[in-house]
């Protein structure tokens, strides 16, 4: 359980670092420790505020066939940037692009780690 949480935290940190490197308006000040702090804070914001925001925005999400979920994810990243001194997003569009990229990267990395873990378990 703890191993899975730490792995998810590290995957989120890698996804945020890649998004910060790719999206010009997203910056992480500091080094690895601030990045890990931002990943932890983003996970907490997603876990605590995310469900409430998704529930409130459910009618708009259904009406837009799920596209409004991108806005919600961008808002959660912008909220994380507002709470953190280490993360800066240059605007809402940058936050939305970075949030989509973080979501895609974390899904791909989680899948990749799961495949590698299953391979090691069989050998």
The model's pLDDT over 33-54, given as tens digits with 9 standing for 90+, comes to 999 999 999 999 999 999 999 9
**Tell me, what's the pLDDT at 2?**
87
Which is more confidently placed, 118 or 97? Answer: 97
Query: At residue 4, does pLDDT exceed 90?
Result: no
User: pTM of the full predicted structure?
Assistant: 0.88
In this prediction, residues 98-110 reach a mean pLDDT of: 94
Q: How many domains does the chain have?
A: 1
21: containing domain? 2-122
**Cβ atoms within 10 Å, residue 44:** 13
Closest CA to 80 of 33, 25, 43: 43
Contact 11, 106 (CB under 8 A): yes
In this prediction, residues 81-85 reach a mean pLDDT of: 95
Arithmetic mean of pLDDT over the chain: 92
For residue range 57-79, list pLDDT tens digits in order.
999 999 999 999 999 999 999 99
Paired strand residues for 28: 87
**Tell me, what's the pLDDT at 119?**
64
In this prediction, residues 96-118 reach a mean pLDDT of: 88
Per the listing, tokens 């409130």 go with 56
């Amino acid at each position: 359980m703890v191993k899975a949480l730490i792995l998810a935290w590290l995957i989120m940190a890698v996804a945020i670092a890649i998004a910060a490197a790719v999206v010009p308006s997203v910056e992480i000040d500091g080094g690895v420790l601030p990045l890990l702090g931002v990943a932890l804070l983003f996970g907490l914001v997603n876990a605590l505020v995310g469900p409430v925001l998704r529930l409130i925005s459910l009618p708009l999400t259904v009406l837009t066939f799920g596209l409004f979920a991108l806005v919600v994810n961008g808002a959660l990243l912008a909220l994380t940037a507002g709470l953190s001194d280490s993360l800066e997003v240059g605007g809402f569009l940058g936050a939305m692009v970075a949030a989509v990229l973080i979501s895609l990267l974390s899904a791909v990395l989680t899948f990749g780690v799961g495949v590698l873990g299953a391979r090691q378990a069989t050998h």
